[in-house]
């Protein structure tokens, strides 16, 4: 594992060189917010950013993604037969992705890369990307990554970890893909003080001011937490807008739709959300999660109980804090997580 | 011109040749049968355009498939044919929503898709050498028909002990597969208990009464060697389960098939979960013992 030092005056030229080998994505400020976008020639990632408003999951799972095309024209020999859409699998680099967002892909991968079925769309997109992460020296007040199995210098899911050290970046290569990216950029000076990253990491982790407790979640009875009295209270102010699920880097639910224009059409998949009643409604009109409280409970139970039990590998959350910052009615996953983790039906005397 | 770095070339070479689980097999509608007097239930018999796809579609009774109506969408439907029936696959579809309504307007010869088989199945290995009681109501008799045909196949009948079938519908004209029901009535290796809620036909020679009542009268005594498979509308299940409880059926001997709204059918799109289980991938068949540990979100 090699650590390179990149003088900031060599940064722009290096990024330009990587564009010969990769389609490079990075954080760019658009109006008030940052978002990930493909960088044009001479366009640089804004390495002074905090984090993007929406997570970069759309680069692997686009909000709308064509799956198949077809023709309904019966004079064509292959009418009504679906044809696969070619995916762009050319190499891409996500420069400046925060460790939490890169780590989120690993959590989502458990869903799309299952033993029985593999999702070719998700996997092809994911495998084409080199993740050049950017450690957080100054986490936000809503970040709780260190207690969500992640951290400001977390390396899992990254190919390179960059750390901002004043007039230079330290770049730790974590994989072969990372080596290839750094070579393509032409950054070759090895750092003689690689240990500094560890000191920066500890300083950043000590700045994380909020935490969740998750240790009891796995052992709790599903039906007991499900029937806990705090759900009504938690869901009371929710307007089911879906902002939490759309901004979340670990939410992956989707819908599949056929869209026709004249005689040709596309089978698409679109982001969907467990906040919406249509998500689960039966053809008969029966809806197993027809009430708001059931949908709010589903979101938290999925992330903090079902996922925990199913994969035995932590919660389905990386602590990025987006849902907390963006929720229009201030529902806070940290509070809900702690309620669930601490819930003891025997000790409960009255609903909160 | 984009040059690929060595590692990127490598990862592409390692590449993905995974089969696309969202791609349906192309099929042709071979036959359409209107099953019930309200004409709301039709059975569609499909033939694979590529005969090799039939082998790839090897299924077990109790599984389902996504019927893919090109340009409309997909619907998850239980497989009504039996693995022992070759050369076709059939489904009985209730006319309910966008896709099923359009499907009801389609004609023999039309091309569409079939994706599957999906889900687990009834636990055939567990039930081998046992008595099997099939309890069905309304149009939820499709995978039960598959199961009966499968068990009655000469190659399989000896693998099961007594077979009892309790099947009810609102009226005689609402029973599915009436010719086959009559043929099974005539056999001595299966005990049929057909019932209707009410019959105006004086010639009706079978039972009259709701499924729970007939279950209480006709179902065999409970025991380690007896498994009950229940499939029907929620109201039937709600009132049949206490009857089985009273008769002493253990909850791990009561087998149920669930339905939920689905899209992907392979445990990825996230909507059909009941607790941590996906009805599409981990189900649709669960024992009552399993269901009691899960939220009632179905």
Give the gap in angstroms from C-alpha B261 to the nearest C-alpha of chain A.
5
Read out DSSP for A223-258?
HHHHT-THHHHHHTT-----HHHHH-TT---EEEEE
Which residues on A lie below 8 Å from B11 (Cβ)?
Answer: 127-128, 177
Averaged pLDDT of chain A: 95
pLDDT in the model for residue B233: 84
Region of residue A337 (phi > 0: left; psi between -120 and 50: alpha; otherwise: beta):
alpha
A258 vs B71: CB contact, 8 Å cut-off? yes
User: To the nearest whole percent, how much of chain A has pLDDT over 90?
Assistant: 95
A184 vs B270: CB contact, 8 Å cut-off? no
Nearest to B18 among A118, A184, A265 (CB): A118
| pLDDT above 60 (res B1) | no
Give the gap in angstroms from C-alpha A339 to the nearest C-alpha of chain B.
19
Contacts of A281-287 spanning 24+ positions with Cβ under 8 A: A281/B261, A282/B259, A282/B260, A282/B261, A283/B75, A283/B94, A283/B96, A283/B97, A283/B100, A283/B261, A284/B96, A286/B234
Of the given ranges (A270-279, A291-300, A316-325, B233-242), which has the lowest mean pLDDT? B233-242
Give the gap in angstroms from C-alpha B104 to the nearest C-alpha of chain A.
15
B295 vs A265: CB contact, 8 Å cut-off? no
**Residue listed under structure tokens 């027809």:** A290
Which residues on B lie below 8 Å from A130 (Cβ)?
Answer: 8
Residue in A with minimal Cα distance to B291: A223
Residue in A with minimal Cα distance to B281: A116
B268 vs A22: CB contact, 8 Å cut-off? no
Give the gap in angstroms from C-alpha A109 to the nearest C-alpha of chain B.
10
Domains and CATH numbers, chain B: 25-118 (2.40.30.10), 124-257 (3.40.50.80)
Nearest to B70 among A80, A279, A309 (CB): A80
Q: Which of B68, B70, B73 to mutate to test the interface with A (most CBs of A within 10 A)?
A: B70
Give the gap in angstroms from C-alpha A229 to the nearest C-alpha of chain B.
15
- Mapped onto helix, strand or coil, the DSSP state of residue A25 is strand
pLDDT in the model for residue A225: 95
Stretch B265-294: mean pLDDT, rounded?
96
Which residues on A lie below 8 Å from B297 (Cβ)?
Answer: 280, 288-289, 294, 298
User: To the nearest whole percent, how much of chain A has pLDDT over 70?
Assistant: 99
What pLDDT band is residue B13 in, cutting at 50, 70 and 90? very low
pLDDT in the model for residue A281: 96
pLDDT in the model for residue A351: 55
Which residues on B lie below 8 Å from A222 (Cβ)?
Answer: 275-276, 293-295
- ipTM, two decimals, is 0.92
pLDDT in the model for residue A348: 62
A119 vs B268: CB contact, 8 Å cut-off? yes
Question: Distance between terminal CA atoms of chain A?
Answer: 51
Q: Which of B261, B274, B280 to mutate to test the interface with A (most CBs of A within 10 A)?
A: B261
For residue A3, give Cα distances in angstroms to A26, A160, B173. Answer: 21, 9, 77
Residue in B with minimal Cα distance to A297: B275
What whole-number distance in Å separates Cα of residue A282 and Cα of residue A328? 29
B268 vs A181: CB contact, 8 Å cut-off? no
pLDDT in the model for residue A309: 95
Stretch B63-81: mean pLDDT, rounded?
98
> What residues pair up with A258 in beta bridges, in sequence order?
A267
| pLDDT above 60 (res A352) | no
What whole-number distance in Å separates Cα of residue B165 and Cα of residue B132? 8
What whole-number distance in Å separates Cα of residue A327 and Cα of residue B10? 42
Give the gap in angstroms from C-alpha A101 to the nearest C-alpha of chain B.
20
A80 vs B11: CB contact, 8 Å cut-off? no
Q: What are phi and psi of B227, to 5 degrees?
A: -115, 140
A117 vs B3: CB contact, 8 Å cut-off? no
Q: What are phi and psi of A230, to 5 degrees?
A: -80, -5
| pLDDT above 70 (res B5) | no
Give the gap in angstroms from C-alpha A305 to the nearest C-alpha of chain B.
8
B295 vs A223: CB contact, 8 Å cut-off? yes
Which residues on A lie below 8 Å from B53 (Cβ)?
Answer: none
> Can you give the residue ranges of every domain in chain A?
3-56+87-206
pLDDT digits (tens, 9 = 90+) for B115-160: 999 999 999 999 999 999 999 998 899 999 999 999 999 999 999 9
* Cβ-proximal residues to B188 (8 Å cutoff; 6+ apart), any chain: none
pLDDT digits (tens, 9 = 90+) for B221-263: 999 999 999 998 888 888 998 999 999 999 999 999 999 999 9
pLDDT in the model for residue B202: 87
Stretch B40-48: mean pLDDT, rounded?
98
Q: Which of A14, A276, A283 to mutate to test the interface with B (most CBs of B within 10 A)?
A: A283
pLDDT in the model for residue B150: 98
Nearest to B20 among A120, A176, A258 (CB): A120
Contact yes or no for A137/A166 (Cβ under 8 A): no
Q: How many interface pairs between A and B have CB atoms less than 8 angstroms apart?
A: 172
pLDDT in the model for residue B18: 52
pLDDT in the model for residue A349: 59
Nearest to A21 among B4, B19, B272 (CB): B4
pLDDT in the model for residue A346: 83
Stretch A290-302: mean pLDDT, rounded?
97
For residue A31, give Cα distances in angstroms to A35, A55, A69, A254, B9. Answer: 10, 17, 35, 28, 37
Give the gap in angstroms from C-alpha A46 to the nearest C-alpha of chain B.
24
Give the gap in angstroms from C-alpha A345 to the nearest C-alpha of chain B.
16
B71 vs A112: CB contact, 8 Å cut-off? no
What pLDDT band is residue B12 in, cutting at 50, 70 and 90? very low
What whole-number distance in Å separates Cα of residue A124 and Cα of residue A174? 21
DSSP class of residue A305 equals I
Which residues on A lie below 8 Å from B7 (Cβ)?
Answer: 176-177, 179-180
Which residues on A lie below 8 Å from B26 (Cβ)?
Answer: 80-81
A281 vs B261: CB contact, 8 Å cut-off? yes
Nearest to B5 among A23, A82, A91 (CB): A91
Residue in A with minimal Cα distance to B69: A80
pLDDT in the model for residue B234: 80
For residue A156, give Cα distances in angstroms to A105, A161, A216, B288. Answer: 10, 10, 24, 40
Which residues on A lie below 8 Å from B94 (Cβ)?
Answer: 283
* Cβ-proximal residues to A4 (8 Å cutoff; 6+ apart), any chain: A170, A171, A172, A173, A182, A187, A188, A189, A190, A191
Residue in B with minimal Cα distance to A259: B71
| pLDDT above 70 (res B9) | no
Structure tokens at B13: 């070479």
Stretch A79-106: mean pLDDT, rounded?
96
What whole-number distance in Å separates Cα of residue B282 and Cα of residue B119? 6
Q: What is the 3-state secondary structure (H, E, C) of chain B?
A: CCCCCHHHHHHHHHCCCCCCCCCCEEEEEEEEEECCCCCCEEEEEEEECCCHHHHHCCCCCCCEEEEEECCCEEEEEECCCCCCCCCCEEEEEECCCHHHHHHHCCCCCCEEEEEEEECCCCCHHHHCCCEEEEEEECCCCHHHHHHHHHHHCCCCHHHCCCEEEEEEECCHHHCCCHHHHHHHHCCCCCEEEEEECCCCCCCCCCEECCHHHHHHHHCCCCCCCEEEEEECCHHHHHHHHHHHHHHCCCHHHEEEECCCCCCCCCCCCCCCEECCEECCCCCCEEEHHHHCCCCCCC
DSSP class of residue A165 equals E
């Amino acid at each position: 594992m090699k650590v390179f030092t990149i003088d900031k005056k060599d940064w722009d030229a290096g990024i330009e060189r990587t564009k010969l080998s990769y389609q490079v994505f990075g954080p760019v400020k658009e109006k008030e917010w940052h978002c990930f976008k493909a960088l044009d020639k001479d366009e640089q990632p804004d390495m002074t950013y905090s984090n993007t408003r929406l997570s970069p999951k759309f680069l692997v799972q686009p909000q709308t993604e064509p799956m198949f095309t077809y023709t309904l024209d019966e004079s064509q020999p292959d009418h009504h037969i679906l044809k696969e859409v070619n995916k762009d699998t050319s190499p891409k680099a996500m420069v400046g992705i925060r460790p939490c967002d890169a780590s989120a892909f690993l959590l989502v991968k458990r869903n799309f890369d299952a033993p029985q079925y593999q999702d070719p769309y998700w996997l092809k997109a994911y495998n084409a990307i080199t993740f050049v992460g950017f450690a957080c020296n100054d986490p936000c007040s809503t970040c709780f990554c260190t207690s969500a199995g992640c951290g400001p210098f977390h390396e899992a899911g990254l190919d390179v970890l960059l750390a901002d050290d004043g007039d230079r970046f330290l770049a730790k290569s974590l994989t072969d893909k990372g080596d290839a990216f750094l070579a393509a950029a032409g950054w070759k000076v090895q750092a003689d003080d690689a240990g500094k990253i560890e000191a920066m990491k500890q300083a950043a982790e000590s700045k994380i001011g909020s935490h969740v407790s998750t240790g009891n979640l796995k052992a709790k009875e599903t039906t007991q937490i499900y029937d806990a009295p705090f759900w009504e209270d938690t869901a009371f102010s929710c307007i089911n807008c879906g902002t939490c699920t759309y901004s979340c880097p670990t939410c992956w639910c989707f819908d599949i739709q056929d869209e026709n224009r004249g005689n040709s059409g596309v089978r698409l998949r679109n982001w969907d959300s467990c906040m919406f009643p249509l998500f689960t409604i039966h053809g008969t009109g029966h809806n197993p999660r027809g009430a708001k409280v059931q949908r709010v409970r589903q979101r938290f139970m999925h992330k903090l109980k079902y996922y925990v039990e199913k994969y035995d590998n932590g919660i389905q959350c990386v602590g990025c804090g987006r849902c907390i910052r963006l929720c229009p009615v201030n529902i806070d996953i940290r509070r809900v997580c702690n309620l669930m983790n601490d819930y003891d039906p025997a000790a409960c005397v009255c609903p909160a | 011109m984009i040059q690929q770095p060595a590692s990127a070339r490598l990862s592409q070479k390692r590449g993905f040749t995974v089969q696309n689980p969202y791609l349906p097999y192309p099929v042709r509608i071979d036959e359409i049968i209107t099953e019930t007097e309200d004409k709301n239930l039709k059975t569609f018999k499909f033939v694979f355009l590529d005969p090799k796809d039939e082998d790839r579609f090897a299924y077990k009774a109790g599984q389902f498939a996504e019927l893919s109506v090109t340009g409309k969408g997909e619907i998850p439907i239980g497989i009504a044919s039996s693995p022992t029936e070759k050369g076709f696959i059939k489904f009985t579809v209730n006319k309910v929503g966008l896709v099923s309504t359009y499907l009801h307007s389609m004609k023999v010869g039309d091309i569409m898709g079939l994706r599957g088989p999906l889900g687990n199945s009834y636990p055939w290995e567990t039930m081998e050498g046992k008595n099997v009681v099939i309890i069905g109501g309304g149009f939820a008799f499709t995978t039960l028909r598959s199961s009966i045909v499968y068990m009655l196949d000469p190659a399989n009948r000896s693998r099961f002990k007594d077979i009892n079938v309790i099947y009810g519908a609102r009226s005689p004209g609402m029973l599915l597969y009436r010719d086959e029901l009559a043929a099974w009535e005539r056999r001595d290796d299966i005990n049929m208990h057909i019932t209707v809620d009410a019959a105006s036909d004086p010639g009706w020679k079978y039972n009259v009464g709701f499924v729970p009542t007939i279950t209480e009268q006709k179902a065999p005594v409970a025991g380690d060697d007896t498994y009950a498979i229940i499939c029907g509308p929620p109201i039937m299940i709600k009132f049949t389960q206490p009857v089985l409880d009273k008769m002493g059926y253990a909850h791990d001997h009561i087998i149920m098939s669930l339905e939920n709204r689905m899209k992907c059918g392979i445990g990825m799109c996230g909507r059909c979960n009941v607790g941590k289980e996906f009805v599409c991938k981990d189900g649709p068949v669960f024992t009552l013992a399993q269901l009691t540990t899960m939220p009632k979100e179905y």
